[in-house]
Structure 1
């Protein structure tokens, strides 16, 4: 419109100037009178309209160009991940749908590779989010350098990436070779602020050939889902590897999801209960305590062992809540035992990452008036490699209040002699994998003997797990005084069975004022006496 107005002003200018300008020229030469005032003003007005129209036209053009650039930038940002420059989930789905639509019969296929960084949370926790962003950017760059020209890469969020590429249906080995190269390239250290950050990836591969037998309404979404399932399978199998999708994996994942939901419901409904395994003094054969073991009374699956639900509870972040409920119940159960009997409790490495863990344990002791000297916390060697300074602080806090701390499953991890000397452990527990194979195995015999000799040098008593028969018991007795536990003395039992056993042995508790006074952090013993009413038989 502004260009039209300017053009019309130019036409009028030409018409008016053709009349006015000759008159002006003759007037300058003195050959005629000046031009008509109205026509002269019209000429000047035309000139002003031309200048204003042209200026406005240029301004509007500039605004339109800026608007187009803004739209293009908004479209780019809507399609790309702002950190890595990769596609985002929405734009990747569209690209993948297009690639699937371009397939030519059964000769060509599309592979989707789901990529997830292993233990990326620890990178953020230990090095900060700036380091995490640096790692994500570098990993994206490394993956892009390995992809062929026809491939596309997207960041779905967090540390999850996905790529898609066409390939010849008979050449799946090419995709496997690409996955292998990705794993190798990503595994190289990532430099950041003078430090070196190590990272690995787990990959899940899925082919559009998996969709041929089961046509779906959204093939792109289904193919990404299958690649995700394969990736989770790779993580389950040890991480830093890849797997092709297979149908049974989907059933496993569905079962896993059901387990997760069941665990969450079970915690709310109190389905997790403590069982107790006897601990025996090997010299005297006397019962000296119990180790608390978790069991799940699932309405659907029956009694489930900890090897099934503990790893999942750790992964989904509910292990601390579950453990605290079990410990509270164990304190209530153990308060009915002979006060000479100890209670051992296993602690997950995940719980040891909580800086308030020791305070939570001490608070539970006070809440349930359970004497600290009867409690033994068991931690595994894995805890020593995550944050040894925090572990040392927690162990010290607990021991200062009278709680004993033992190193569980000794021999299966990487605890060093210097760590054993510097950390104030009260006891070592030899893993059952060594103990249960003592029957005639000279190599294992020498290994257990070495552990016993080392514990003697460190002045740490020993508990042997996995005593299953008289032969193992006899082999252990020759190494001196120690505690033992295992199926030779009976399987873990629920609280009511333990009470029956203790009643038979005359080992039920007599709680006195003196016992209450020993509770860690008990600030007001007078209140405890009034509440307890003196000595009472339980």
Structure 2
């Protein structure tokens, strides 16, 4: 292993065409999933040995906070892929991130390192507990600059209270009364509400959404405390759990339990929604997460039912308490075939014991169909749009 100074000296003697830069990182959060915490250190030691005898490897830097930087001889992308696969197979319980870059003429080593690191952390799979790798290009850097800008905007909005939690009430179809709601994020920036399409996907990609998921929890428990103080009705609120949060579920669960315990409130007040798209992936971490929630008494809903690719055979194996029908069940205008499918789906799910929430209902024509099929709740613009917490509390006040 070389110091950075020695590596720079060696690099200066090489031509740009003689080498490539390879950044290797042991993903920090992967350590939560290791069967043996010593395995991470073992992986570091064995990785050092493997790289030192690999023919393409010219030199290796000292370890820097769980990562290292190496120079390899110029080889094909296919060969690089095979090398990474070899390392991944050697450590099935450790997830690595690789960033690769071909240097330009007279490019400094620090710049090459930056580009390799950038490629590693911006891989589309970097947030997942799997080994990931990416080749640097200029488009990648442009995307990063945009991502950094969006993340900084969201962080500032959180600090200033401009990342707001709105509540969209749910209505009990039988009694026509509010029976709960769903927490939804809204971003206020430069005197306007920004569409979700301008920022939500980016914070999902870079995993910053893990922080906003926790932020929503804190805002909700603050609202619950206000309800208790003002003696308003305490109604259950559902929150969406992102795929990135599920990749780091243990820390999220700890926060959920801590907030619930500190508030002395029933776990029944906080429902967790899992998108059908997430269920289509074979994910043991998700199954474990849902099992813990169920054991702790939290309600769990499958969100967007009918929009994704999850099989109906998935449902019996996961502890869902309710199903939220996707808005695609409620097209404009309505048609007979769709109505038959809607009613049949509700009846089948009801027979299996699930509560049913119809989401995205905007037209009165669907109410008789939903009542006939014994749908439990409606969430949609026909009754209420998403509203600031203050307006939701005013709505609850009218009940007192």
**Which TM-score applies when normalising by structure 1?**
0.57
Distance of aligned partners of 1:471 and 1:116 in 2 relative to their CA distance in 1, 3 Å threshold: farther
Distance of aligned partners of 1:352 and 1:330 in 2 relative to their CA distance in 1, 3 Å threshold: farther
Q: Structure 2: which 5+ residue stretches go unaligned?
A: none
Q: CA RMSD in A?
A: 4.5
1:365 aligns with 2:263: yes
Distance of aligned partners of 1:469 and 1:185 in 2 relative to their CA distance in 1, 3 Å threshold: farther
Residues in 1 aligned to 2:206 and 2:249: alpha-carbon distance in whole angstroms: 11
Residues in 1 aligned to 2:384 and 2:314: alpha-carbon distance in whole angstroms: 33
Q: What is residue 133 of structure 1 aligned with on the other side? A: 41
Which of 291, 308, 324 pairs up with 1:429? 324
For residues 132-173 of structure 1, give each alpha carbon's deviation from its aligned partner in whole angstroms, at most 9, with x where no partner exists: 122334445555665426x33446434434332354xxxxxx
Q: Quote the offset at 1:490 in angstroms.
A: 4.9
Matches within 5 A, 1:245-394: 245-282=136-173, 286-299=177-190, 303=194, 305=196, 307-308=200-201, 311=204, 315=208, 318-319=211-212, 322-331=215-224, 339=233, 342-347=236-241, 348-349=245-246, 350=248, 353-354=251-252, 356-363=254-261, 365-366=263-264, 372=266, 375-380=269-274, 385-386=284-285, 392-394=291-293
Helix, strand or coil: the match of 2:76? helix
Give 1 or 2: higher helix fraction: 1
Distance of aligned partners of 1:474 and 1:135 in 2 relative to their CA distance in 1, 3 Å threshold: farther
Q: What is residue 160 of structure 1 aligned with on the other side? A: 67
Contact 1:327 1:345 in 2 (8 A): no
Matches within 5 A, 1:44-83: 80=1
Residues in 2 aligned to 1:187 and 1:437: alpha-carbon distance in whole angstroms: 50
Out of 286-295 and 155-164, give the one that drifted further. 155-164
Residues in 2 aligned to 1:140 and 1:436: alpha-carbon distance in whole angstroms: 58
Residues in 2 aligned to 1:281 and 1:472: alpha-carbon distance in whole angstroms: 15
Helix, strand or coil: the match of 1:127? coil
Which of 450, 456, 461 pairs up with 2:355? 461
Q: What is residue 87 of structure 2 aligned with on the other side? A: 186
Q: What is residue 94 of structure 1 aligned with on the other side? A: 9
1:113 aligns with 2:22: yes
Contact 1:436 1:468 in 2 (8 A): no
Distance of aligned partners of 1:324 and 1:289 in 2 relative to their CA distance in 1, 3 Å threshold: closer
Out of 467-476 and 242-251, give the one that drifted further. 467-476
Contact 1:112 1:162 in 2 (8 A): yes
For residues 425-444 of structure 1, give each alpha carbon's deviation from its aligned partner in whole angstroms, at most 9, with x where no partner exists: 54333455777799779899
Contact 2:166 2:184 in 1 (8 A): yes
Contact 1:113 1:205 in 2 (8 A): yes
Q: Quote the offset at 1:277 in angstroms.
A: 1.4
Helix, strand or coil: the match of 1:256? helix
Matches within 5 A, 1:28-43: none
**Which TM-score applies when normalising by structure 2?**
0.73
Residues in 2 aligned to 1:481 and 1:121: alpha-carbon distance in whole angstroms: 41
Contact 1:260 1:312 in 2 (8 A): no
Out of 151-160 and 381-390, give the one that drifted further. 381-390
Q: Quote the offset at 1:341 in angstroms.
A: 5.0
Out of 426-435 and 323-332, give the one that drifted further. 426-435
Q: Quote the offset at 1:225 in angstroms.
A: 1.0
Helix, strand or coil: the match of 2:224? helix
Helix, strand or coil: the match of 1:188? helix
For residues 459-501 of structure 1, give each alpha carbon's deviation from its aligned partner in whole angstroms, at most 9, with x where no partner exists: 221223344556776775564323232455454221344467x
Q: Quote the offset at 1:261 in angstroms.
A: 4.1
Residues in 2 aligned to 1:153 and 1:474: alpha-carbon distance in whole angstroms: 70
Helix, strand or coil: the match of 1:164? strand
Matches within 5 A, 1:224-243: 224-235=113-124, 240=131, 242-243=133-134
Residues in 2 aligned to 1:435 and 1:417: alpha-carbon distance in whole angstroms: 22
Contact 1:154 1:162 in 2 (8 A): yes
Contact 2:21 2:70 in 1 (8 A): yes
Q: Structure 1: which 5+ residue stretches go unaligned?
A: 1-79, 81-86, 168-173, 191-196, 511-538
Task: Give 1 or 2 for the bigger CA radius of gyration.
Answer: 1
Q: Quote the offset at 1:363 in angstroms.
A: 4.0
Q: Quote the offset at 1:314 in angstroms.
A: 5.2
